[in-house]
Amino acid sequence: MARVVVDVMPKPEILDPQGKAVHSALNRLGFTGVASVRQGKRFEIELGDDTSEDAVAEIERAASTLLSNPVIEDYAIHLEG
Amino acid sequence: MRIGVITFPGSLDERDAARAVRLAGNESVTLWHGDADLHGVDAVVLPGGFSYGDYLRCGAIARFAPVMEPLVDAARGGLPVLGICNGFQILCESHLLPGALIRNDHRKFICRDQRLRIERTTTAWTTGYDDGQEVVIPLKNGEGGYVADERTLDELEGEGRVVARYLGDNPNGSYRDIAGISNARGNVVGLMPHPEHAVETLTGPSSDGLAFFTSPVITGSSHTESVKSAGDHRQASVGAAS
């Protein structure tokens, strides 16, 4: 079995209110060395028997259509295991 | 006019939207997310709510519901489509409208009566308003911040596709105070505030929202070419409805 990991992050120019909330909570807790926080999503997708390049390319298509919104997010894809 | 209102799992305002359609003198038709066709309706409303629990991104999963396939085709062909709140989010995810809606910049859910200015009255859904008319319509959202890149925002402004703008304090961080936009043709409109909650003074802050639901009637057809010539009739029709 192969695992495909898709990381989705808000684009740098898009405001990230969740990241800002986490940042201010960290400051409140005394983690004062933090300059900024961006919050994203991580998808761990287990492939079945077919772990060919085509199967991974299909996940890439899923990442660009459903898992991320190209208007506000970037994604990165990599194989694990 | 037969106006369909689609229910997705997690939709919230489809009954209010259907009621607004009827109060405006139209026939409401119940559409289901799993429907394979649009039952021959003349226009469609995508209601507010939390389709699919707002999982992944608001509207991201609803976009791929079976009913969206015929809807997207019909919208590209000129069918009037109004997306309210979550419906607006679905229209953006479907790429029928540009941009996206993200979490409010202040990170709190907002629920209040909101002043708006109607800035485009040539869409299928806004012929019942006067240019620049100020209205009060409830706004309730957690993820209502309208964002798009500068080029898209300039394009929307340049083509007069900003349908409604927030007046007073910006409630959610929307770029350029944008509350609603349309596609180039004017048949597809997305709006973050809820006109279906302002259709009579007994249950809403005003009846300012009603004209969204009387406007499609005034065109008399699903072809937006006739929208622009319908202006002469709009005052009489709105008067009759109120």
Mean pLDDT, residues A56-68:
95
pLDDT on residue A51? 85
Mean pLDDT by 10 residues, chain B (242 residues): 97 97 97 97 97 95 97 97 98 97 94 98 96 98 96 97 98 97 98 98 95 77 43 41 38
- Give contacts of A13 with chain B, Cβ < 8 Å: 149
Note the pLDDT of residue B157: 97
| ipTM, interface predicted TM-score of the complex | 0.85
For residues B100 and B204, give the distance between their C-alpha atoms in angstroms, rounded to a whole number: 28
* Chain B residues in contact with A14 (beta carbon < 8 A): 102, 147
Residue of B14, B33, B58, B85 with catalytic role? B85
Nearest alpha-carbon partner for B126 in B49, B21, B15, B228: B228
- Angle of helix B210-219 relative to helix B14-23, nearest 10 degrees, comes to 60
Residue A34 has pLDDT above 80, yes or no: yes
Interface membership of B181 toward A (CB under 8 Å)? no
Cα-based angle B229, B199, B102 (whole degrees, multiple of 5): 85
Interface contact A80, partner B, CB < 8 A: no
For residues B116 and B179, is the Cβ–Cβ distance under 8 A?
yes
**In this predicted structure, what is the pLDDT of residue B204?**
94
Strand, coil or helix: what is B187? coil
A69 with B107: Cβ contact below 8 A: no
Rg of chain A, C-alpha, whole Å:
16
How much is the pLDDT for B217? 61
Give the pair of three-digit tokens for residue A52: 């060919």
pLDDT value at residue B164: 98
Any A CB within 8 A of B35 CB: no
Q: Residue A74: what pLDDT? A: 97
Residue B58 annotated to the active site: no
Please say whether the beta carbons of B206 and B194 come within 8 A.
no
- Partner B contacted by A52 (CB < 8 A): no
A vs B, Cβ pairs < 8 A, gives 39
Put simply, the answer to whether B99 touches A14 (Cβ < 8 Å) is no
Residue A35 has a pLDDT of 96
Q: What is the pLDDT of residue B110?
A: 96
Say whether B194 is catalytic. Answer: yes
Do residue B60 and residue A69 have CB atoms under 8 angstroms apart?
Answer: yes
Name the average pLDDT for chain A: 94
